Structure 1
Amino acid sequence: MIEVRVAQPDDADAIAAAHIEGWRVGYRHVFPTEFLDADEFATSRLDRWRGWTWNSRGDSQLFVVLRGGRVVGFGHVGPARVEPVCDESGNGSAAETTGAKGEIYGFYVHPEAWGCGAASALIARCHEYLRDEGFNEAVLWVLRDNPRARVFYEKAGWFATGREMMFEPQNTGPVPEVEYTVHL
């Protein structure tokens, strides 16, 4: 059974696991193996999620998707950032927002849950939240060389806008991201 709910502090380790494995499997062809397999890579994400400020994220929301009662992914949503400067968690400057659009800042599902409907349930909940917050449109950024994610987003109604920016996590070298949008 697939369920989506608001994340809680005790979800941090499972969120980190989905984040880490999502990167290791999904981005193996993009980032150096030494970077993805390094203990520092995993530790930094685990520390980030354990240190998440659970109750003071303002107007954004962090959702988790569960499969069989176990957290297998997360989606972080809120108002679109004016200048999308993000780290590898999808965390960015939520203080400077457009007010007109919503954004999915980060969206990861553990590879063991790919293809089971978890991502579809999660993105549907993200869309619902953004609509409930009064947004008619939303944006997200995805690695240009991430065909699996791009096909998923397109099936969910998203389309590329033509805008690109460079993304460089932990000095691995810049990689292009493309902006996607959806009408909610």
Structure 2
Amino acid sequence: MRVDLPLLVREATAADAESVGEVHAEAWRVAHRDLFEGHWLSSLVEQRRTMWTGRLTARAHARNTLLVAERGDRVAAFVHFGPHTDGVPDGEIFDLYAHPTVWGRGVARTLMDKAWEMLLDARYRRVRLWTMAGANRARHFYTSFGFVETGRRREHDFGDGRPVLEVEYLRRTR
């Protein structure tokens, strides 16, 4: 992906499903290769590659926002956020992924800046997110963006019967 092209942040459409899936899959393939066994990781990567067509057209998606960062004619990253899933009056970031070819180039930060602006406009007082305890790159990014660990932990089974520890982060808007 050419890094000299300008970055456009915009709301995703159903036509972006395949591109979002590609970013999600490649980010998972590279970032989580040490967290899952090879054959299981391959299965999870393929699930992420194809899941966005259904998600972007699902009725539940209407209450959330999916932004993409586009460089040239390619989606380089995406962020998916909205009201917290537990019904508390907080915002939640459900997904934030950048294609590995743009890691360290400010794409995710630019995208997160826009998402944060929209979360502020929606008047959330706090924004929460969960990430895998072993996802050190993601954890460092969230901390650098002002998120702090809440101390809450949970296990999530991605289907292989071997739960992965997840850590909750929070950032106050005021």
Normalising by structure 1, we get a TM-score of 0.85
Matches within 5 A, 1:31-110: 31-37=36-42, 40-54=43-57, 56=59, 57-82=61-86, 97-98=87-88, 100-110=89-99
CA distance in 1, matches of 2:164, 2:45: 20
C-alpha distance in 1 between matches for 2:132 and 2:82: 20
Match of 1:116 in 2: 105
Q: Distance in 2 between matches of 1:47 and 1:79?
A: 24
Q: Does 1:125 align with 2:125?
A: no
C-alpha root-mean-square deviation of aligned residues, in Å? Answer: 1.5
- Give, as a single letter, the amino acid of the residue that structure 2 aligns with 1:159: V
Distance 2:49 2:168 in 1: 27
- 2:8 touches 2:71 (CA, 8 Å); kept in 1? yes
Gaps of 5+ in 2: 1-5
Cα gap change, 1:55/1:4 in structure 2, threshold over 3 Å: closer, same or farther? farther
2:23 corresponds to which letter in structure 1? Answer: A
The structure with the greater share of residues assigned to helix is 2
How many aligned positions are there?
A: 167
Q: How big is the shift at 1:55?
A: 7.3
Using the size of structure 2 for normalisation, the TM-score is: 0.89
Distance change >3 Å, CA 52–CA 74, structure 1 → 2: same
Question: In the alignment, what sits opposite 2:26?
Answer: 21
Identity of aligned residues (%): 34
